[in-house]
Amino acid sequence: LPAALLIHGPAGVGKQRLALWLAQLAVCTSPGLEGPCEQCQACRMARALEHPDIHWYFPLERPKGASGDRLVDALETARNEALTALREQPLRAVAGDELRGLYLATVRNVRQRAHMQASMADGPVFIIGDADLLVTQEASPEAANALLKLLEEPPGRARFVLTSSAPGRLLPTIRSRTVPLHVGPLEVEEVAEFLMEHLDVSPERAGWAARLSEGSPGRALGFLPDDDDLGTLDALRWKAWELLGAAVEGSVSGACALALGYAPAGARKLLDLFEFLEGWLRDVAAVASGAPERVVNHDAQDRLGKLVGRASLRAANVPLAFAAVERAREAASGNVNPQLIVTSLVRELGAVLSPTPAIRAAGAAPAGAARR
Ligand SMILES: [Zn+2]
């Protein structure tokens, strides 16, 4: 195991799970060719997330009202609470939660521990999940630089395993200090089997969620319902569909009415919605170019077919729609009012996807009028 490894690949595919397995392998007292022995005390403790030399860090919400050393302590308390929850329920859906981060105080905690003696193993193993979420809210590269120092000169026999589904957002210097390992999406059948093995779901439901998951068990979990509601990702997917529908319909009042359903602040929450919108746009292109079997939203082929037929959508216009989504994404990253972003996006999408007067309601302003 190199001193600093970077596991990257799609969100929810199991990168942190793999990192935990590697850490278990590193501390196992009698590892075999297939991996850790699963029998020794070190293996049992690692599997229970209780090994004293395996330190798992992941983004957390910033505790309120704490700074300096008290923030370090508050984050450590929050991390221990999260670990307790993970021991009870190790399966989590991918959560697009823009409020979580890894902070300078987190890295200070890692640094302190990295300089301490290992308790049982040769050296400690540090897992830093979603490492690209370093300093997202601190507006300074300090945390990333502090981590960089640790990666450059790991104290003693400390090892680091970073994971990221957006490695492009890591500092280039951090990327260059780590050995990359790509984890690709799984086969649909593998995801379905995973769901059936770990959850009480029928083969039909498992297959349905697996086909929507794009090869990621963590995403598949997000499509399965909590109680009677839609799964969180499924709800987001239909919200994106609604947005596309309003765009194609082309009515100004419809766009405004839809936009008013969004909160007036917190634009970053739109980023996940836009990913689903792009999924629908890809599907529109697939259906419009005569390849309906290629759609990701496999349970919506009928709706897609009707939408494409009714509004005579053309695949050639879809790239322009992607550009509109990209502009909306930039606005969301810059924290523009979400209602404005949605109004503008719906109208721009309508203008490029469905420019024919028969579909566009009379009196629609020309494209650009809704731009800020
Ligand atoms: Zn073992």
Q: What secondary structure, in 3-state letters, does 19-44 show? A: HHHHHHHHHCCCCECCECCCCCHHHH
The first and second tokens of residue 56, run together, are: 């798992």
**pLDDT band, residue 203 (cuts 50/70/90):** very high
pLDDT at 62 over 90: no
Asked whether 244 and 328 are in contact (CB, 8 A), the reply is no
CA of 40 to the centre of ligand 1 (A): 4
Give the pTM. Answer: 0.83
pLDDT digits (tens, 9 = 90+) for 176-187: 999 999 999 999
- Residue 176: predicted pLDDT: 92
Distance CA 20, CA 39 (A): 16
pLDDT at 45 over 80: yes
**Mean pLDDT of the 30-54 span:** 96
Distance CA 156, CA 121 (A): 12
Distance CA 123, CA 271 (A): 39
| Exposure letters 325-364 (e unless 16+ CB within 10 A, then b) | beebbebbeeebbbbbbbbbbbbbbbbbbbbeeebbeeeb
pLDDT digits (tens, 9 = 90+) for 245-265: 999 988 888 888 999 999 888
**Mean pLDDT of the 338-351 span:** 94
Residues 6+ apart with CB under 8 A from 80: none
pLDDT at 319 over 80: yes
Asked whether 151 and 178 are in contact (CB, 8 A), the reply is yes
Of 124, 167, 136, 131, give the one whose Cα is nearest residue 148: 131
**pLDDT band, residue 65 (cuts 50/70/90):** confident
CA of 29 to the centre of ligand 1 (A): 5
Long-range contacts of 367-370 (CB under 8 A, 24+ apart): 370/255, 370/343, 370/344
CA of 298 to the centre of ligand 1 (A): 43
CA of 126 to the centre of ligand 1 (A): 18
CA of 198 to the centre of ligand 1 (A): 23
Asked whether 162 and 178 are in contact (CB, 8 A), the reply is yes
- Residue 244: predicted pLDDT: 95
Q: Checking DSSP bridges between strand 100-101 and strand 60-61, what pairing results, if any?
A: antiparallel
Distance CA 315, CA 302 (A): 17
Exposed/middle/buried for 323, CB within 10 Å: 0-12, 13-18, 19+? Answer: exposed
Exposed/middle/buried for 186, CB within 10 Å: 0-12, 13-18, 19+? Answer: buried
Angle at which helix 232-249 crosses helix 301-310, to 10 degrees, equals 10
Of 133, 75, 63, give the one whose Cα is nearest residue 109: 75
Alpha-carbon distance values, 165 to 15, 85, 96, 283, 372 (Å)? 9, 23, 12, 23, 32
CA of 46 to the centre of ligand 1 (A): 9
CA of 21 to the centre of ligand 1 (A): 11
Measure the CA dihedral 293/302/251/362, to 10°. 90
CA of 22 to the centre of ligand 1 (A): 12
pLDDT at 357 over 50: no
Beta strands in the chain, from DSSP E residues, in sequence order: 4-8, 54-57, 60-61, 100-101, 125-128, 159-164, 179-182
**pLDDT band, residue 166 (cuts 50/70/90):** confident
Exposed/middle/buried for 220, CB within 10 Å: 0-12, 13-18, 19+? Answer: buried
pLDDT at 229 over 80: no
- Residue 192: predicted pLDDT: 97
**Mean pLDDT of the 204-229 span:** 89
- Residue 126: predicted pLDDT: 97
CA of 38 to the centre of ligand 1 (A): 5
Higher pLDDT residue, 38 or 253? 38
CA of 89 to the centre of ligand 1 (A): 23
pLDDT at 300 over 80: yes
